[in-house]
Amino acid sequence: MLTAFIFENDKLPITTTSLDDVRHAARRDDAMLWVDLESPEESLLLQIGEIFGLDEESMDDCLHGEQRPRLDEFEAYLFLVLYGLFGVERDVELTPRKLAVFCGERFLITVHRQPLMTVRQVRERCKRHSDAMLREGLDAVLFALIDLTVDHYMDVADQYETRVEDLEDRSFQEGVDESLLSDAADVRRELLELRRLATSQRQLLLPVAQGHYDYISDRLSLRFRHVRDHLAEVRDTIDSLRELLVGVRDNYHAMLADRTNEIVKTLTIYAGILLPLSVITGIYGMNVPLWPAPNQKWTFWFVVGCMMAVSTGLFWYFRRKRWM
């Protein structure tokens, strides 16, 4: 699907879905275009490439290619590949969504296979604040796309912070099982992927923030430095969360060790009570007539009484020592 915004001097922007309108506007020196292609057919993508003179390999990378951020400089435009974590709704996407961007002096082309909240939000900005967007230029639209993408990274990091706090609370609960370790490992793996994307996109924005490109104004280069700072905050937050996950694992093992020690202590106390009784019954059960009046009934009850007295005394002693 093609959606294009055509900006002209002192005129309201024109929104169109016609390829012919895009072709005619691209030939004019007084017009700027933002062309958004959502799930485009390859034939449409090739036609857009012919209109704006785009590199064929870069066009192919828009829908295919490896999953990593990148930035390539061509003679008349920049080619960027970004990755976001939100679709149309504000739900965390475990699989990042790809956004390819061609940024030239008078055109901005965005290509994505799936709907993106970032693109939708910038579209709405263009409709509501068309004059401001026209004054600032197409690099301001590019900045808005990247800035919102980074804001979404921060939102995702905040959601992971809540998940890690829940895991930390679970690690202190009685009866916690091994599912805690499995959940913590899943979160740790997802955080590692998020950190990789944030770090890659921060490195990608370094030449943009340093003002190496003619298509990016000096004023916006300063803003891109702030975006890089936000990505650094995301990276630091992720590192802190990963350290907390190590603490979650340590808490689990500590709770498991305490539970094991408690069980061993209880078994030891019972063994300590039963051991003297085993000694008494072993001696009494010897087939040697050493006991007085071995054929009398009271002898049996005397031994039972001794056993009860010993066990009661040991129980009282252990309780006094607060071992049980």
CB environment 207-225: b (16+ within 10 A), e (fewer):
bbbebebebbbeebbebbb
As a whole number of angstroms, the distance between CA 148 and CA 223 comes to 13
Q: Mind listing the pLDDT tens digit for each residue in 92-144?
A: 555 678 899 999 888 999 998 888 888 888 888 877 776 666 667 788 888 88
Mean pLDDT of all residues in 283-293: 65
What per-residue confidence (pLDDT) applies to 170?
A: 86
How many whole angstroms separate alpha carbon 324 and alpha carbon 313?
14
Higher per-residue pLDDT: 91 or 201? 201
Q: What pLDDT does residue 95 have?
A: 67
In our burial notation (b when 16+ CB lie closer than 10 A, e otherwise), range 165-195 reads eebbebbeeeebeeebbebbeebbebbeebb
Per-residue pLDDT, 94: 58
Nearest to 119 by CA among 93, 94, 86: 86
pLDDT confidence of residue 111? 92
Indicate if the pLDDT at residue 65 is higher than 80: no
Q: Are 6 and 21 in contact (CB under 8 A)?
A: yes
d(CA 105, CA 15): 20
- Span 141-169, mean pLDDT? 87
Query: DSSP letter string over 298-320?
Result: HHHHHHHHHHHHHHHHHHHHHHH
Q: How far is CA 247 from CA 91, 194, 233, in A?
A: 27, 20, 21
Cα–Cα distance measured from residue 9 to residue 289, given in angstroms and rounded to the nearest whole number: 121
What pLDDT is attached to residue 274?
A: 80
Q: Sketch out the chain's domains with CATH numbers.
A: 2-253 (3.30.460.20), 254-320 (1.20.58.340)
Given this model, what pLDDT does residue 102 score?
A: 93
Instruction: Specify the pLDDT at position 35.
Output: 92
CA distance 254 to 68: 39
Q: Using 50, 70 and 90 to split pLDDT, how confident is the model at 91?
A: low
State how far the Cα of 33 lies from the Cα of 284, in Å rounded to an integer. 104
Give residue 214's Cα distance to chain centre.
35
Q: In percent, how much of the chain has pLDDT > 70?
A: 89
Please give the pLDDT value at position 177.
80
Distances (CA, A) of 101 to 70, 79, 284: 10, 6, 93
Going by pLDDT thresholds of 50, 70 and 90, the confidence category of residue 251 is confident
Q: Cα dihedral sign for 225, 235, 121, 106?
A: positive
- Cα dihedral sign for 253, 255, 261, 264? negative
State pLDDT tens for residues 9-51.
767 778 888 888 888 888 888 888 889 999 888 888 889 989 9
User: pTM for the complete prediction?
Assistant: 0.73
Return the SS3 of 7.
strand
CA angle at residue 185 from 181 to 190, to 5 degrees? 150
Give the residue among 51, 58, 42 at the shortest CA–CA distance from 19: 51
Query: 231: how many CB neighbours lie within 10 A of its CB?
Result: 24
Mean pLDDT of the chain: 82
Q: In 3-state terms, what secondary structure has residue 31?
A: strand
Let me know: does 156 contact 194? Beta carbons within 8 Å.
Answer: yes
CA angle 197, 198, 204 (to 5 degrees): 90
**In this predicted model, what pLDDT tens digit does every residue of 267-286 receive, in sequence order?**
887 887 788 878 777 777 66
**Residue 153 near residue 86, CB atoms below 8 Å:** no
User: What is the reported pLDDT for 239?
Assistant: 93
**What percent of the chain is helix, strand and coil (3-state, nearest 5)?**
60, 15, 20
